[in-house]
Chains A and B, each alone.
Chain A
Amino acid sequence: DIQMTQSPDSLSASVGDRVTITCRASQSISRYLNWYQQKPGKAPKLLIYAASSLQSGVPSRFSGSGSGTGFTLSISSLQPEDFATYYCQQSTSTPWTFGQGTTVEIK
């Protein structure tokens, strides 16, 4: 299985901050990398697919980049509704695997 590792595991930030989360794959996954946001008690929500494509309806403050084994999710100006856990997922080979998650907390 391809292992996905996110860093950091958690971070504290203030409203208006720029936040960056990193995801690394144990082998090259080209650009088959997706990002999800999960709020407590809710199902994950797709934010970014194919490394950098913004899912319909997702605010433009979210952006993704990277290819191969290294990827980033950025939030340009953190909003109160963005405090959540974020997961990366590779979909280049089965089983599709997720990172362990990064929790963004209020500072």
Chain B
Amino acid sequence: QLQLQESGPGLVKPSETLSLTCTVSGGSISSRDNYWGWVRQPPGEGLECIASIYYTGTTYYNPSLKSRVTLSVDTSKNQVSLSLSSVTAADTAVYYCVLSHGSGSYFDFWGQGTLVTVSS
């Protein structure tokens, strides 16, 4: 059974960099047609796609966050990592690791999510 597990600090200071890792179990991160990504949800609010990476290595960044986001994959550790620089309180959210499995245009696997609070 494919599982995604987010990890990283729950508290980040303003202006610093938020770094999260998604560890994948039950499947290979480099499997064909997989599309990995990150979605966030501020407390009490809706969902926002942050960035995603195709199994070929092609990346996509939400234009509203592009200047601050970096996505990377470590196939040896079966991990996808997210970095978001120069954070503010507006970046406080639950961050979900997500997967579009196969060639579908939808997120069919989600991690449990991790809350990141930006505060001094």
Contacts and interface: CB of A to CB of B under 8 A. Distances in A.
Given A36-B107, A50-B104, A94-B49, 13 more contacts: A42-B112, A43-B113, A44-B47, A46-B107, A46-B108, A49-B104, A49-B105, A50-B105, A87-B47, A89-B106, A95-B49, A95-B63, A98-B49
- Point out which of A43, A45, A87 has the most chain B C-beta atoms below 10 A from its C-beta: A43
Interface of A: 1, 32, 34, 36, 42-46, 49-50, 55, 87, 89, 91-92, 94-101
Contacts, number: 55
Interface of B: 46-49, 60, 62-64, 96, 104-108, 110-113
A43 B46 contact: no
A52 to B, nearest CB: 13
Contact of A43 (B48, B96, B105, B106): B96
Given A43-B111, A43-B112, A94-B60, A87 B46 contact: yes
